Amino acid sequence: MLPELFPGLPIIGWREWLALPDLGIRAVKAKVDTGARSSALHAFDIELFERDGRPMVRFRVHPWQGDQTETVAAEAPLAGERLVRNSGGIETVRPAIVTDLELAGRRWPIELTLTARDAMGFRMLLGREAVRQRFLVHPGRSYLTGKRPAGVPRPPRRRGGTP
């Protein structure tokens, strides 16, 4: 069995609830995508600026899919800009930040690119660099680390099923 090959690594599902505490995001549903190298967060009103000569980025997030009433305003040091190819093969340049992520009782820094993900089913994509050597991903299971946190609204149902 695969877990026996990687003893000590917890198993997570293909979608999980996680937190980005340094950004003030207490809960966001993420798609765990080992096919994507990098992680991405839905952000809008993205503004690059400098503070004390250091490049920064300011942005806003609707952390809960299907809900635009909860808005989190955040800012972070700019880690750089990354050329990212989306699932449609289109390359874009995105601002990148490094921030802590909390999942399954663990906390560690990850790099996130910021992009508009309004049309996507998930507000966050957790790529393989963020989970490498930390977790095994079970592609047929969801929310192995816990269900929707209290206070997070249930997204509206989509016709044809919801991810």
Segment 9-44, tens digit of pLDDT: 999 999 999 999 999 999 999 999 998 899 999 999
- The pair of structure tokens assigned to 65 is 């899919």
Residue 40 is encoded by which pair of tokens? 């991405």
**Run of H or E including 94:** strand 91-103
Mean pLDDT for the chain overall: 89
Predicted TM-score of the model (pTM):
0.87
Can you say whether the dihedral through the CA atoms of 84, 38, 144, 140 is positive or negative?
positive
- Tell me the per-residue pLDDT of 70-104, one tens digit each, with 9 for 90 and over: 899 999 999 999 998 877 888 999 999 999 999 99
pLDDT value of residue 13: 96
Full set of structural domains in the chain with CATH: 2-137 (2.40.70.10)
